Structure 1
Amino acid sequence: MRQRCTYIVIIGPDGCGKTTVAQQLCQELSALVPVRSYCFSFENLPAPSTLLGRRTTVLRAGLTDSRMSMPFPTWKATLAAIWWGLDHVLGHAKLWPRDRRECVIFARSYHDFLYARTHINAPRPVVRFFLKLGPKADLIVVPHRSPASIRADKPELTPMEIGAQYARILAELGAADNLLNADADAAGVRGVVSEIRTRMPI
């Protein structure tokens, strides 16, 4: 018997299909088991902007070569990595529900600190520390699409940045036994979801 519910994260550059894959997976699984979905955090801690009473900056979607905002300065990236790292560690409690058949699905997660442009200045040892201390995902899914395909749908990132983000993910997680690299261009959303379901431990 499993000792906790299934924990799946879907990561990759903006436009690779994280949200679409997560939604399709949730839809298919919800008929079989309880499902909870999150985006980026376990929601144990409030966003710093909420505590400080500041408005969250909304990025202008569709703006060509916007680079999805500039990287945080090192001090801000470090504080963000620690704050959300604590939220990630506290996520252990969210994975022990009454019904252990339950599946928790993330479209984006704390893993973003390993590759996203905004967090690129966060110290790698800090990020790795919290990832090691926090719950380990049963499956980390990376939908791979060509930079040209992503660019056609979401022009915010340059092809170079898209390739760089995939490279960072592989450099950090390429040897992980729980990593699933899915060819989203060839398989499509349903194909990626089918691959996930064949690898799921439930």
Structure 2
Amino acid sequence: MSYEKIQESALSRFFDILNEKELRYCVLRNYLQIPRVIRNDVDFLVDENHLCDIKLTALDTFKKFGFYKIRETNRLGYHGLYLIHKSSQNIILLDFFTKLSKRWYSYANEDFILDSRVKYKSFYVATAECWAVTVLIKDLLTYGELLSKNKHLIGKEYNNVAINSCLDGIFDDETKRNISLVLSGSSTFCCKDSLFKQLKKQSSKNFIRYLKSRVIDCYGNLTHAKNHFVVIIGPDGCGKTTISDCLINELKDKPFSNPIHIPKNVNILPNLKNIKYFFRSIWNRESTLNDLLNEQKEVDKSKEFAVNSGMNVEHSSNVTLTIYPLWYGFDYFLGRAKLKKWKSEYKLVIFARYFYDYYYQLGYRDYPGWILDIIGIIVPKPDLIFYLDRDAEEIYSKKPELSISEIKSQQDRILKKFGKHNNFKVIDAREGIELTVKKIKKEILGE
């Protein structure tokens, strides 16, 4: 079934349920081709007492057709639901208004609009007079004139009593008369300043409510901006890199513009191994830096699937052991600006290896935890940490770099260290790559 058919079916079912529950709503404008065709969004006026039920009905109904929420906006008199279709990745916006207002000024009589609503096809809509009045005043207050795309509303036969009722309690009789003349095409005069002058007579309580709603919405947007910096942890062989690459492909374009997978470090500071081999090449003149690096790559490649190859940890000096977490911890610290830029550009940044690896890797088993904790203070905190939970025996059978006992030991250290963190999520990765990716995707999108 095409996305257009799915969208039409979902919206039709939503209307049916609203009608069955006798919830007060109406589509405000641009409803002639709904539900078959939707421009960018659907504007609803809803009874404030029914708002919660209507929003829950929308989420539940659209979920059954493959939609889920990616964002919600709440302001004074306005509540927006952004829903994305999981297969096509198309987004639909449902705008629910309980107040028709500009800034904190109400410009129409919402009760009259809901009371006078009429049935169109299978759903309720605002009358022609209410549609024209609300669009005209909204455009005048926002742009100082009626937008060209809305000029088709001018010159029609409207019921002046309905126009006046739509404006009752907000504008004086002279302004109502002017608005009626503009809509009939008999006059073009309707001053934005005079409209605002009358609106300013409204209670200052609306301003306080408006300010409060903006603060809450701002906070909501900040919290929604999270889940863009993700770290995946687990013993070697559990699938961190594979899962990260699959997540990037799954979340590409929508809702994230161009997500990226960072294999390891931020790379503000040079790689310590490169520095080590540089000095070795100076000391041993028979080998160049490239020779030593290529030699190490061959060694690493030969170890990749060798049995228990990860158990052969080089016995480095205490100085070397201390330098690595300090060096790369400082690299992550210096990379804060770079990470911020990545989040801004790509919206989603995934690390398959991160500073947290030092807490459980075999080579750092005896490393003082308090030193790592101190370094960890300056390291950027991810929004979500995903631990891939798989059976040690299964990991070993696929990639036998670590012994089964060592895999279990690392899993225990991970749970002990991060288990109580609020941003730590245990993902059951036993059911294969596809299902694991879907589970992590749901967590990132907050489904």
- Whether the TM-score (by the shorter chain) exceeds 0.5 is yes
* CA distance, structure 1, for counterparts of residue 346 and residue 445 of structure 2: 10
Match of 2:329 among 66, 85, 101: 85
* CA distance, structure 2, for counterparts of residue 42 and residue 166 of structure 1: 25
Note the C-alpha offset of 1:95.
2.5
Note the C-alpha offset of 1:159.
0.3
Q: Residue type matched to 1:86 in 2?
A: F
Match of 2:261 among 24, 31, 37: 37
Q: Greater share of helix residues, 1 or 2?
A: 2
Match of 1:120 among 341, 347, 365: 365
* CA distance, structure 2, for counterparts of residue 70 and residue 164 of structure 1: 16
1:46 matched residue in structure 2:
270
Going from structure 1 to structure 2, the CA distance change for 1:40 and 1:123 (only over 3 Å counts) comes to farther
- Decide whether the 8 Å contact of 2:231 with 2:352 is kept in 1: yes
Note the C-alpha offset of 1:123.
2.3
User: Does the residue aligned with 1:96 lie in a helix, a strand or coil?
Assistant: helix
2:439 matched residue in structure 1:
195
Q: Note if 1:177 corresponds to 2:177.
A: no
2:244 matched residue in structure 1:
22
Unaligned runs of 5+ in 1: none
Identity of aligned residues (%): 31
- Decide whether the 8 Å contact of 1:6 with 1:103 is kept in 2: yes
* CA distance, structure 2, for counterparts of residue 5 and residue 42 of structure 1: 19
What do you get for the CA RMSD once the two structures are aligned?
2.1
* TM-score, scaled to structure 2: 0.42
Greater mean alpha carbon deviation, residues 92-101 or residues 14-23: 92-101
Note the C-alpha offset of 1:68.
4.2
* CA distance, structure 2, for counterparts of residue 121 and residue 40 of structure 1: 22
1:159 matched residue in structure 2:
404
User: Does the residue aligned with 1:21 lie in a helix, a strand or coil?
Assistant: helix
* TM-score, scaled to structure 1: 0.89
Unaligned runs of 5+ in 2: 1-220, 281-291
* CA distance, structure 2, for counterparts of residue 113 and residue 78 of structure 1: 11
Note the C-alpha offset of 1:101.
6.1
Note the C-alpha offset of 1:103.
0.7
* CA distance, structure 2, for counterparts of residue 139 and residue 4 of structure 1: 9
1:106 matched residue in structure 2:
351
2:309 matched residue in structure 1:
66
User: Does the residue aligned with 1:185 lie in a helix, a strand or coil?
Assistant: coil
* CA distance, structure 2, for counterparts of residue 130 and residue 102 of structure 1: 26
Structure possessing the higher radius of gyration over alpha carbons:
2
Q: Which has the higher contact order (CA 8 A, sep 6+)?
A: 1
Going from structure 1 to structure 2, the CA distance change for 1:136 and 1:201 (only over 3 Å counts) comes to farther
